[in-house]
Structure 1
Amino acid sequence: MGVKISIKGNKETSEHKDAIALKEIFETEFRNKQIDGEILIICNATLFGQSTKDIDLIAIGKFDKYRQRLKTKSRTKNQGADTIETLDQEMRTVFVNDFCFVFETKRHRATDIQLNGLTLTVKYNNKRSDVTTQSENQKYSLKGFFEDRINFSPMICNFIWLRNVTWDSIKNLLGNNTNIHDKHNYLPSTFSVPFLMQLACIQTTPWTPFDYKTNNIKGYSTFNCLKRNQEIDFDEIDRIFDLFKKVKNGSGELTRRKISHITSKILNDQQYAKAIGDKLIVISGRAGTGKTIKLLSIACDLATLQGARSLILTYNHALVSDIKRTLALAEIPDGIDDYTVNISTLHKFFYELVVGFEIADSVKESKNNKKYILNFVKNYKEHLTTLIEYLDLELIGDKEISDLMKTRHQQVGWDYLLIDEAQDWSELEKNVIFRIFGKEKVIIADGVDQLIRSQNKCNWTRTLKPNIGFKKTHEKKGLRQKVNLVEFVNQFAEKLNVNWKLEPKKELIGGKIIISTKEYEQSLHQRQFDLCVKNGNSAYEMMFLVPPSLVERYQTTDEYDRPKEDKRFRHLEKYKNYGINIWDGTSAELRTEYVVDLNSHKLLQYESCRGLEGWTVINLDFDKFIEYKMQTFTEEENNELALESFEEKRNRFVYLWALIPMTRAIDTLVITLNDKESYIAKVLREIYEENPDFIEWIE
């Protein structure tokens, strides 16, 4: 029967050529041998839903009675022993039963490759890119992908395949350090299957069975990627790697339109385009004027037209998830040696800066030589203050910054930083960005007066002259919401004495508002979902927003069965019984990834909705959210004259906040109220009575 070897993936890529080369290596090994088995090689895999999504090569195989003589350690457990014993490295007969390998392929010359300790880097645009970390991330993303999709959890070995480097060059790179020789995962341009398995045994140590009859270990070992009683289902694995194509083809009209917008070339038509790279770019406008999508479009343009690496920064985890999903569907690369657009929370980005500069005693080192900081967010302001002090004292200068961009190229070496909701950043955060990257690399979206993190607006253009130090655009038209929704929000703001006025885009005719003093019911949902689908959208384009009162904490366990606390939507089971499938973004675990199920609606807390949108948006218990914001408001100190009372400041801050969830819907906004006698309910009732033609009231 022999070993069946098949390749899956895009044939028009260099990675497909690598897949063919890998297939030939396997064929050479098994030619004229009486071995049965199957190997599936996947090239250009997109791990949809994972933090690292682009994988060059994956190889999965299983065999019947395939063995090799390999120099390796082994593990065993003697009869009655409580612990597993590791046996010394020596030549052993190893039966390879099954394997799961992931390969990062590089075409760099040997002169462009460096080894710093156990970290391999390659040269890219005169910068050093960390391939070792990239390869590790791919391994864990593939593991997560298998677990999420088919509850399959193999031991995965990862390799760096240097397609233009000989084994002699790799040995020169490794030098005489035998410790490194036993730990590396580097493959030369050509290699044999025994060589590959030799390296695999470094990562997954073979098992030597114990012979209870002789009371001794047996004379052979086994290499497995699977746990006992697990099987490789090649048909199922083949199916899940079609997930990306299935989701992309099944995406709703709203998602398709967003992808089309961000991948269209907009910079050629914009006056500010020539100032990018020379001045700070400011895109100013209120909620719904398209600032976030414009940032995405600019980043994609810079990537595809200039080959630039752009990073979008936000503090909203839910927005990170949504943009990651959009970039994945738009097939924008997330690698280290190509153009790319990525997105990160600002806390994660500043963490990488502080770790990279090894500020004071805050940076620790783990047993595997990884640097880390304990309680970074808790001491966030102190870390940034110390970073500024180092810059002021010139302990961090141009050389240190240049070195950081090279050594941590993947994490911080970006050509452009694009900052969402920049008005809500602190002056400290702004100063760090300007001092390290310079204003010329920065493009910001300024949401005018909508503040969440602070009551004091960050002034990014202070000390800069218009058209010399910065270039600013003023977005005035509502590009998200249909005319009726823009008018509704304008009236809502006016009745609450909030300074807000958005000009509707006349072409976006229509729009409906539904306000209910009852709980959200199955019949109402079905009616809205049918309309959503009728307009070409999927469940993903229908978004639920909830206040803290609809979120509960519960005890669960992590992957190591250790107790931990998480959160969930209170009515998850009830909605499931209604037939409403929910991706619960209130959970800390889910919030960092994104929706992959076409039949799931996303559900988030109000606090996480900024920057997001939906064809239909359901604001559950909206009055309870307002009540919560009123109760938790605390006045911040500033240097301004006390011209407003505490109540006036609180009302202005909370009501401006309330406009954010009001401006998420494109076509239909559904609002449920917990108390029809609340102040907000009475305001909404007044607006309904003045506009019964496009507002529906349900008692």
Structure 2
Amino acid sequence: MGVKISIKGNKETPEYKDAIALKEIFQSEFKNGEVNGEILIISNATLFGQEVKDIDLIALGKFEKFGKRISAKAKVQIPDGLRKVEELEKEGYKQKEYALSNRKFWVKTLPPERRSVFINNFCFVFETKKHSARDILLKGTTLLVPYRGKFKDVTTQSENQKYALKGFFEDRVNFSPYIQNFIWMRNVSWDSIQELHGNNGQFRGEHNHLPTKFSVELLFQLACIQSTPYMPFNRESGVLKGYTTFGALKARQELDLNEIDSMFDLFERVKKGAGDLSRRKVEMITKKILRGQDYAKSIGEKLIVISGRAGTGKTIKLITIACDLAINQGARSLILTYNHALVSDIHRTLALAEIPDGVDTYTVGIRTLHKFFYELYLGFEIDPNIQVRKDGKKYIKNFVSNYKKHLTTLKEYLDLELIGDKEISELMQTRHEQVGWDYLMIDEAQDWSELEKYLIFKIFGKEKVIIADGVDQLVRSQHKCNWTRALKPNIDFKKTREKKGLRQKVNLVEFLNQLADKLEINWSVDPKKELIGGKVIISTKEYSKELHDRLYKFCSECGNKAYEMMFLVPPSLVEEYEG
């Protein structure tokens, strides 16, 4: 039977060529047909719904009786009660209790040596890079590559891809394998990688860097660094067996490659099944909006203010500018908002528009402002209470609960020049995926605090900022944030005013204008004549199922999907169901 190797992906992309090269590496290992198994290689994977959505290569596989001699550590786990405690303690075992199973084990990690490792299954993610060795920089344990005159952190990008894939599997099929991530440098030899590492004692051979050509043995040797193989033992005597096992699956899990293969068709199915509103939104955000615009010349030189009332298209214009800067100028832009629902919607729209999210390419990101300031604050490492998780990631407990206090502390450090240009520049490199952006796009800027505005200007400079400024939309505060205070028009900032209603069709805009006039509310928006139609239904009766079904049917007949419909109801009419 041998090992069946399949590739899934767009054949017209460079990543598909990388997939072919990976397939050839596996074929070279299994050419004699002595091992049975199956391998699936996926190129250009889109992890729909994840914050990191673009993956160069994913490889999954399972084998029957496939072993390699590999230099690796080995983990031993002996159930409590199988051997005498004194013997185990003398041999260096430590007791460990697993909370979920309420079981106790004696564990020990054996030092690395060349040992037999039987590989049952695996799940790998690869970030491929085409840079030459002279363009790559190693800072500590962080691998950096150049993009637009700056160095970008590939190590963090690779780590984030691993967790994004894990989240994708958990969301789609309730499947949570152990995943190993690699950085595959397609134009760098093994000798150059070793030269790059040099005398860096932080590595000691423990890295995830692959050269242009490598063996299956090296691949699994690096995989065993991330996930130490287990050494089984005789359950009757407790004597260790002379081999180890490596696998991606937890107990009682199975690897169904056919199911995973079909799962990665999801993105294409979503694109084909997108509703009319989604398709029009994608078309809108990928237009060249900046050509011929007066304010476009000021981007990167002045603060740009997009002003207008609710529904005049400020947010969509912000996204369109970000996409134009990305696609046509190669820029990395980040959109900031306090609206969690908007974050999800923009993530989805950017995925449908196929905007990439790599660290060394153009991109458009979307974050909540709280998460963004969290990454800033964490990156400067000024909090004495920073904690470290088991996976080595640093975090701050209850950041949002103490949000204003943390931001005030950051301001004090900046004012006292304890954080200066040098520290800011270093942060942009070491945490560039989180905070190293060419432009910041700020949605609902009128609802930000003066403290948040101060920090953005101080750290990034007003020239890198483009804001959407609502005239009368306040949710977080009753005080409008003035982003242009002490700034000179056309010298320090450039302002554009949006007057046409883009959220509603002509009939709705005219209805709202007339209603505002009757109620003596200061409100007026120009209708966009191309948006013909719109209906207002006023009923003195309750909202019935018959009316709901009629409206739903009408929306569907117009080419819209369920997620493109919005129903606003008062809290008193909301019913919650469990399960």
Specify which of 565, 571, 576 is matched with residue 570 of structure 1.
576
1:495, distance to aligned residue in structure 2 (A): 5.1
Partners of 2:200 and 2:497 in 1: CA distance: 60
Q: Using the TM superposition, name which of 251-260 and 437-446 deviates more.
A: 437-446
Shift, 1:42, TM fit: 0.5
Distance in 1, matches of 2:257 and 2:383, equals 51
Any unmatched runs of 5+ in structure 1?
552-568, 574-699
Query: Which of 108, 128, 133 is the matching residue for 1:86?
Result: 108
Residue in 2 that maps onto 1:543:
566
Aligned to 1:15: 15
Q: Residue in 2 aligned with 1:43?
A: 43
Provide the secondary structure at the position in 2 that maps to 1:210. Answer: coil
Conserved? CA contact 1:128–1:408, under 8 Å: no
Aligned: 1:165 with 2:188? yes
Are the equivalent residues in 1 in contact too, given 2:447–2:477 (CA < 8 A)?
Answer: yes
| Distance of aligned partners of 1:390 and 1:102 in 2 relative to their CA distance in 1, 3 Å threshold | same
1:307-363 CA-to-partner distances (Å, cap 9, x unmatched) read 000011111111111101100000001111000001111111112222222235354
Please name the residue that 1:694 is paired with.
none
| Local SS of the residue matching 1:218 | coil
Helix, strand or coil at the partner of 1:300: helix
The answer to whether structure 1 residue 397 and structure 2 residue 420 are counterparts is yes
Of 192, 196, 207 in structure 2, the residue corresponding to residue 184 of structure 1 is 207
Shift of 1:437: 1.5
1:107 match: secondary structure: strand
Asked whether the equivalents of residues 152 and 360 of structure 2 are also in contact (C-alpha less than 8 Å), the reply is yes
Report the Cα distance in structure 1 between the residues aligned to 2:180 and 2:45, rounded to whole angstroms: 16
Q: What is the percentage of aligned positions where both structures have the same residue?
A: 70
**Among candidates 303, 316, 327, match of residue 350 of structure 2:** 327
Tell me which residue corresponds to 2:529.
506
Q: Which whole-Å CA distance do the structure 1 matches of 2:224 and 2:184 have between them?
A: 17
For residues 61-72 of structure 1, the aligned pairs below 5 Å read: 61-72=61-72
Q: Give CA-to-partner distance per residue, 1:83-110, whole Å, 9 cap, x none.
A: 1523413322221111111011112222
CA distance in 2, matches of 1:285, 1:525: 33
1:247-286 matched pairs, under 5 angstroms: 247-286=270-309
1:1-27 deviation line (CA, Å, top 9, x unaligned) = 111111111111111111111111101
TM-score normalised over the length of structure 2: 0.91
Match of 2:122 among 88, 99, 107: 99
The 2-side partners of 1:364 and 1:87 are apart by 25
Residue of 397, 421, 434 corresponding to 2:457: 434
Q: In the superposition, relative to structure 1, how do residues 58 and 379 fare at CA in structure 2: closer, same or farther (>3 Å)? A: same
2:296 alignment partner, SS class: helix
SS in 2 for 1:181: coil
Equivalent residue letter for 1:68: K
In the alignment, what sits opposite 1:76?
76
Q: Distance in 2 between matches of 1:194 and 1:395?
A: 48
Tell me if structure 2 keeps the 8 A contact 1:285–1:291.
yes
In structure 2, the residue matched to 1:296 is 319
For residues 101-140 of structure 1, the aligned pairs below 5 Å read 101-140=124-163
Aligned to 2:512: 489
- In structure 1, the residue matched to 2:5 is 5
- Deviates most, 80-89 or 36-45: 80-89
Matches within 5 A, 1:461-476: 461-476=484-499
* Shift in alpha-carbon separation, 1:326–1:73, aligned structure 2, 3 A: same
Secondary structure in 1 aligned to 2:5?
strand
**Deviation, structure 1 residue 168:** 2.4
Q: CA deviation at 1:186?
A: 1.4
Kept in 2: contact 1:75–1:84 (CA 8 A): no
CA distance in 1, matches of 2:519, 2:140: 61
Write the letter of the residue equivalent to 1:331. E
1:214 Cα deviation after fit: 4.9
**How do 1:293-442 and structure 2 match up within 5 A?**
293-359=316-382, 361=384, 363-365=386-388, 369-442=392-465
Deviates more, 1:358-367 or 1:368-377: 358-367
In the alignment, the residues of structure 2 paired with residue 87 and residue 371 of structure 1 have an alpha-carbon distance, to the nearest angstrom, of: 24
Relative to structure 1, the CA distance from residue 111 to residue 423 in structure 2 (aligned partners, 3 Å threshold; closer, same or farther) is same
Tell me by how many angstroms 1:369 deviates. Answer: 4.9
- Counterparts in 2 of 1:521 and 1:68: CA distance versus 1, 3 Å: farther
Deviates more, 1:43-52 or 1:505-514: 505-514
Contact kept? 1:423, 1:459, Cα under 8 Å: yes
Q: Is the 8 A contact 1:72 1:90 kept in 2?
A: yes
Contact preservation (8 Å) 1:490, 1:502:
yes
Give the counterpart letter for 2:149 in structure 1.
Answer: N
Alignment partner of 1:27 is 2:33: no
AA aligned to 1:115 is L
CA displacement 1:641-682 (0-9 Å, x = unmatched):
xxxxxxxxxxxxxxxxxxxxxxxxxxxxxxxxxxxxxxxxxx
Taking the aligned partners of 1:513 and 1:136, their CA distance within structure 2 comes to 50
For residues 485-536 of structure 1, the C-alpha deviation after alignment (integer angstroms, 9 at most, x for no partner) is 2233334444554321222223323212234566544332221111111111
Contact 2:282/2:353 (8 A) holds in 1:
yes
**Counterpart amino acid of 1:570?**
E
CA distance in 2, matches of 1:352, 1:229: 37
Match of 1:200 among 220, 223, 230: 223
Q: Secondary structure at the match of 2:28?
A: helix
Paired amino acid for 1:276: I
C-alpha deviation, 1:149, in angstroms: 1.5
The residue number in structure 2 matching 1:238 is 261
Matched residue, 2:95? none
Question: Residues of 2 paired with 1:433 and 1:528: CA distance?
Answer: 44
Aligned match of 1:577:
none
In 2, Cα distance between equivalents of 1:133 and 1:549: 46
Q: Aligned-pair distance for 1:375?
A: 2.2
State how many pairs are aligned. 556
1:689 corresponds to which residue? none
Moved more, 358-367 or 84-93: 358-367
Contact 2:141/2:202 (CA < 8 Å) preserved in 1? no
2:384 and 2:118 map into 1 onto residues whose CA distance is 48
Query: Are the counterparts in 1 of residues 501 and 527 from structure 2 also a CA contact under 8 Å?
Result: yes
SS at match of 2:341: helix
Give the distance between the partners of 1:243 and 1:166, measured in 2 at CA.
Answer: 36
Deviates most, 90-99 or 486-495? 486-495
Q: 1:225 to 1:499 in 2, by over 3 A?
A: same
Letter in 1 for 2:420: G
Post-superposition offset of 1:384: 2.1
Inter-partner Cα distance in structure 2 for 1:328 and 1:301 = 15
Secondary structure of 1:180 counterpart: coil
SS in 2 for 1:83: strand
The two structures have a TM-score, normalised by structure 1, of 0.76
RMSD of aligned residue pairs (Cα, Å): 2.1
Mapped to 2, the partners of 1:218 and 1:546 lie a distance apart of 65
Q: Distance in 1 between matches of 2:230 and 2:218?
A: 19
CA distance in 2, matches of 1:410, 1:83: 40
Local SS of the residue matching 2:297: helix
* 1:539-592 Cα deviation digits (max 9, x unpaired): 1111233555566xxxxxxxxxxxxxxxxx61577xxxxxxxxxxxxxxxxxxx
* Cα distance change, pair 520–130 in 1 and its aligned pair in 2 (3 A): farther
Tell me the amino acid that sits aligned with residue 71 of structure 1: S
Distance 1:517 1:225, change over 3 A: farther
Task: Look up the match of 1:578.
Answer: none
Report if the CA contact (8 A) 1:38-1:62 is conserved. Answer: yes
Structure 1 residues 229 and 400: alpha-carbon distance in aligned structure 2, compared to 1, 3 A threshold? closer
